[in-house]
Amino acid sequence: MKFLKKAGMLTFVSILLLVILSVPVYAKKKTPTKDDAKNGVVQINTVFVDENTGKHVVCGGAGFIVGSEEGTEYVITCSHIVNPSEEAKNAAFEFYEIPNNDEAWSKINLSTEIVMEGDIVVQAEQVNSSPEYDLSILKLSQPIHTRTPLTVLTNKDYDLTKLPYETTEKVYALGYPDRIGYDSAVQYFTNEQIVMTAGSIANLLSFNGIQTIESDVAVGENNCGGPLVNEYGYVIGMNTLSKDGMYSCALDSTVIAKVLDGFGFEYSKVYSNPKQKEAEKKPASEESDKAKDSSIPLWLLIIICVGIVSVVSGIVTIIIVKITRKNDKKEAKKGKDDVPKNEALARYSSQDNLDVIRSLGSINSQAPGTSVLSGGLNSLGETTVLDGEKVDSQKLKLGTLVRVKTGEKISISKGMFSIGKDNLHVDYCIKDNGTISRKHAVIRQAKEGLYLEDANSTNGSWLNGRKLVFGRAELLRNGDMIKLSNEEFEYRA
């Protein structure tokens, strides 16, 4: 009977907690940013395979993913990247020393690949292209699950007079640090090397019969084909190599959306920015706000719920205490005969412990020069030796690097001092140079002095004009000039 009462009480408490916890809690949705768009940018390479020398890159460029993460993904890019001219192809074949016997060049087939990571690629098939728009749509052979398709900002009815963006708005072109071609030093860039170039919209017009966004963003072969995004990371255009005087041109997203919708492709698109959406929802939500005002305030509901939980917890506590006391009384009666034995054992144990403590005290008093290894809270930040002396830990001062561009002086304070652009994993971070690798170079301390070693960087390291070989360190001397990619430093001992 008592068991049933306890079970019933526990069931009641469980149901009450479930009701309280089932009240919906709405988390504020994260507002997208321009930096989120980097994860949707990809590198496109147009390549050919020679049976004797392997795969070769003819040309490459930037593009961006649209579509569904669960379904088919597509890549938008410039047509001239996927369909290079005969002149460009022949220049590549000549560079790779491919013989043109019996017009062999004309028989070489090109293919398109999307770079996933390093030289790991995904094959892509061209769905359609337009030389007039310089637009190419590629279909991926499989989704890239580490990338996120971008959202296109457009007009619902393709109305060019009511575009959801206007002049003077901040825009950003996404691409890579350098052009990609058959003669490029780097033919495969990583996602961390994506470069963002900022500017503002200058004009929204029809240029050469094509709806175009003109801006003062710098666009070249390194970022053409990539997206032009706004501050929320929404795509408003595709960067092209066309120029109108001093302004760069991008194919308007309304044109891109109309083409994608014409093919019936599924992709993410919006008709306004997040702040505009909130403004549109305000009139529609006024009535619901009034209804909320007439209901019980949220703070009062919270107080009521807390009160109910407190009362229930008190009842449960009282029941548990009563049950525990009854059990203790029963155990006390059962163990009444064993009390003398337990007391004797307790006295015996206490005497033994006292002897041990006295022994430890005598040992400690006989060895005053010995310090316990775990010195407690007071020993934090210090090194304790066996005779009780303490040595304060201090930073090393091994030399100074002077950054030529800014005059900044960097103290080499560690025996292994790393330089790069990943501020979480290097000792000196170069944030304002996109050509620097995450961990570019390392300065190591040795018996003879300091050594400079390249950390397998993308764009290389130099000492006094001589490029360092990965895995081989070079001794530093006072006045040596260090060059990491295009960033120069002077070493002072």
pLDDT on residue 388: 38
In this prediction, residues 271-292 reach a mean pLDDT of: 61
The architecture CATH gives domain 34-273: Beta Barrel (2.40)
Nearest of 427, 426, 432 to residue 411 by alpha carbon: 427
pLDDT digits (tens, 9 = 90+) for 317-326: 788 777 777 7
The architecture CATH gives domain 400-492: Sandwich (2.60)
The mean-pLDDT minimum among 156-160, 304-308, 368-372, 400-404 falls in: 368-372
Q: In this model, does residue 400 exceed pLDDT 50? A: yes
Residue 377 has φ and ψ, to the nearest 5°, of: -65, -30
Q: What share of the chain has pLDDT > 90, as a percent?
A: 58
Q: In this model, does residue 147 exceed pLDDT 60? A: yes
Residue carrying structure tokens 């619901």? 288
pLDDT on residue 289: 54
The mean-pLDDT minimum among 31-35, 155-159, 323-327 falls in: 323-327
Residue 87 has φ and ψ, to the nearest 5°, of: -60, -45
Structure token digits, residue 421: 């652009």
Q: In this model, does residue 306 exceed pLDDT 60? A: yes
Q: In this model, does residue 394 exceed pLDDT 90? A: no
pLDDT on residue 211: 94
- Cα–Cα distance measured from residue 117 to residue 191, given in angstroms and rounded to the nearest whole number: 8
Q: What share of the chain has pLDDT > 70, as a percent?
A: 76
State the chain's mean pLDDT as an integer: 81
pLDDT on residue 293: 53
pLDDT digits (tens, 9 = 90+) for 91-131: 999 999 989 888 888 889 999 999 999 889 999 999 999 99
Let me know: does 122 contact 114? Beta carbons within 8 Å.
yes
Ranges of each domain in the chain: 34-273, 400-492
In this prediction, residues 75-101 reach a mean pLDDT of: 94
pLDDT on residue 54: 87
pLDDT on residue 90: 94
Q: In this model, does residue 50 exceed pLDDT 70? A: yes
The mean-pLDDT minimum among 29-33, 144-148, 217-221 falls in: 29-33
Q: Give the model's confidence band at 374: pLDDT under 50 very low, under 70 low, under 90 confident, else very high.
A: very low
352 or 331, higher pLDDT? 331
Structure token digits, residue 436: 């620097």
pLDDT on residue 397: 72
pLDDT on residue 6: 56
The mean-pLDDT minimum among 54-63, 308-317, 326-335 falls in: 326-335
Q: Which amino acid is at 328?
A: D
In this prediction, residues 41-65 reach a mean pLDDT of: 93
In this prediction, residues 205-224 reach a mean pLDDT of: 95
pLDDT digits (tens, 9 = 90+) for 402-444: 999 999 999 998 889 999 999 898 999 998 898 999 999 999 9
- Cα–Cα distance measured from residue 304 to residue 470, given in angstroms and rounded to the nearest whole number: 68
Q: In this model, does residue 3 exceed pLDDT 50? A: no
pLDDT on residue 283: 55
What pTM, to 2 d.p., does this model score? 0.54
Q: In this model, does residue 448 exceed pLDDT 50? A: yes
pLDDT on residue 362: 39
